[in-house]
Amino acid sequence: MSMTLGAERRWRSIALALWTCASIWFAAFERAHADEASGTWTGELEGHGSYYYERSTEVWVPTGRLSVEAPNGMRMNVSYLADVIASASIGQMGSDIDKVHVEVRQGIGTGFGKTIHIGENELDLSVNAIHSWESDYFSWFGGVRAGYLFNQKNTGVSLGVTGVHDSIYRNAREGQRFFGNLDGVTLTFGFSQILTPVLTFGAGYQLVYLTGFLGNPYRVPKIGPLPDMEAPPDTRIRHNLEFTASLYAPATRTTFQGFARLYTDSWDLNAITPELRIYQELGRDFGLRLRARYYLQGRTYFALEGTDLGNYAPGYTGPVTADPKLSGFHSIQLGGRISFALTAFERSFLRFFSRGVLDLSFDHQWTTVDSTSFGRRNFFMILGGRLPF
């Protein structure tokens, strides 16, 4: 069902009111139970500035998050992000208005949670919500998660359920046109096990069901002699299976972390993603993280590729897309991150910052994706920090 821009704003106002009520309840709940705890509030302030570059597109993303935990264990967080996207390619930005080269997406998020102690075990419950908007795309997201730690907290299981509702518009010369909705549900199952004092293992499965408009209203694959509107199927079911293992070597103060993901979906797109990370502690204040990631995917059954063009006659009405990320390709990503703990402030008047950590990371990716706008290389940098209090 179509939702007008005014309706989008009304929903945003309703969400803000609900969040305010939840915050008041959160504060009231804490006051009512103040005698149960020590009275100490803790939290963390986190901020990052990210930059992404590829041949036709640059993206700047400042983000911030404030998390607090009440003495009774109730947690709350609020976050904000802005995506500033600049593109030299109109096709990439996807508008038929020549002047549109910069687009801004904003997002706000909030979450509440609490850990409940049951004997030696722990039950953690949390809810979160995110709303993001830009000139032609509105997204509402909500999720709940339950995690349970048992076996002297060596074993963990978790279950998460999320829902998303997106409204998709198209900026055009005659104004903003509604294109469709996209709805999705995600189920996530997780398992973790501490195997030894230096070895952990984790596994997870994620099922995603999407329905609605799953294409891009600006992408126009060429079918026969003329460009035509992209028409992917209106449902998609994704399956993710992932494994993680971490090993710490005390002698060298090094952590080796391996990750593998197996992916398949109802569009016949299959992918594998192995990744290795090495964390090296350097003295008391510095840390280094190196990462190598490989990504390999096959194509969807309806992806147009160069030699396929002749197979589609004018008037073809089946599913078709020219989306480069639905073609077959592989990529290699190498990156590094250095972390610096601000313990040097311990003996100064700035000792409030002495528990903070600054991070700077740089990643470079080489890809074989068949796209003139994406390019074959890209990189991104992230500068940020965390300040517990």
Partner 1 sequence: VKPYEREYLTRPGMEMRGEAQAGEFEAHLQSSREGAVGGHGTVESSTGGGCGCN
Site for partner 1 in 55-114 (CB under 8 A): 57, 59, 61, 63, 65, 79, 83, 85, 87, 92-94, 103, 105, 107
Compare residues 30 and 279 and give the one whose CB is closer to partner 1.
Answer: 279
Q: Reduced to 3 states, what is the DSSP secondary structure of residue 85? A: strand
First to last CA, the chain: 46
Q: Considering only residues 3-32, where is the footprint of partner 1 by CB under 8 A?
A: none
Of the CA atoms within 13 Å of residue 105, those in its CB half-sphere come to: 17
Q: Which is nearer to partner 1, 33 or 124 (CB)?
A: 124
8 A C-beta contact, residue 213 and residue 182 = yes
Residue from 342, 350, 299 nearest 323 by CA? 299
Radius of gyration in angstroms for the set of CA atoms belonging to the chain, rounded to a whole number: 24
* Residue nearer to partner 1 on the CB measure, 30 or 184: 184
Pick the binder of partner 1 from 111, 113, 221, 287 (CB under 8 A): 287
Among 175, 250, 306, 310, binds partner 1 (CB under 8 A): 250
30 vs 299, which CB is nearer to partner 1? Answer: 299
User: C-alpha angle 86/91/95, rounded to 5°?
Assistant: 80
Rounded CA-CA distance 169/177 in Å is: 5
By C-beta, is 30 or 333 nearer to partner 1? 333
- Chain-centroid distance of CA 15 in Å reads 21
Select 33 or 277, whichever has its Cβ closest to partner 1. Answer: 277
DSSP-assigned letter for residue 71: T
Minimum Å distance from CB 33 to partner 1? 26
Give SS3 for 92.
Answer: helix
* Beta carbon of residue 124, minimum distance to partner 1 (angstroms, whole number): 12
Residue 25 C-beta: closest distance to partner 1, Å: 24
Find the binding residues for partner 1 in span 326-385 (CB under 8 A).
Answer: 326, 331, 339, 359, 361, 363, 367, 369, 374, 378, 380, 382, 384
Q: Dihedral (C-alpha) 312, 313, 317, 318: value to the nearest 10 degrees?
A: -30
Tell me, by CB under 8 A, how many residues bind partner 1.
97
Least Å distance between CB 43 and partner 1?
14
Interacting positions 116-175 with partner 1 (CB under 8 A)? 130, 132, 134, 137-139, 141, 143, 152-154, 160, 162, 164, 166, 168
Quick check: helix, strand or coil at residue 156? strand
Cβ atoms of 261 and 241 closer than 8 Å: yes
Among the listed ranges 9-17, 52-60, 311-319, 342-350, the one in contact with partner 1 (CB under 8 A) is 52-60
Taking CB atoms within 8 Å and a gap of at least 24, the contacts of 20-25 are: 22/110, 22/112, 23/76
CB of 321 to partner 1, least distance (A): 10
CB 90, CB 123: distance < 8 Å: no
Contacts of 24 (CB under 8 A, 6+ apart): none
Nearer to partner 1, 30 or 162 (CB): 162
User: Is residue 53 a contact residue for partner 1 (CB under 8 A)?
Assistant: no
Between 116 and 198, CB nearer to partner 1:
198
- The nearer residue to partner 1, 33 or 336, going by C-beta atoms, is 336
Binding test (CB under 8 A) with partner 1, winner from 11, 19, 26, 52: 52
Instruction: Measure the CA–CA gap between 192 and 176, rounded to whole angstroms.
Output: 47
Judged by beta carbon, residue 215 or residue 356, the one nearer partner 1 is: 215
* Torsion (CA) 285, 290, 291, 292 in degrees, nearest 10: 180
Q: What is the DSSP string of 293-337?
A: EEEEE---TTB--GGGGGG--TT--S-BB--GGGS-EEEEEEEEE
Interface residue with partner 1 among 11, 148, 263, 312 (CB under 8 A) is 263
Report whether 344 contacts 357 (CB < 8 A): no
- Residue selected from 45, 271, 332, 338 as contacting partner 1 according to rule CB under 8 A: 271
Site for partner 1 in 170-229 (CB under 8 A): 182, 184, 186, 188, 194-198, 200, 204, 206, 208, 210, 214-216, 218-219
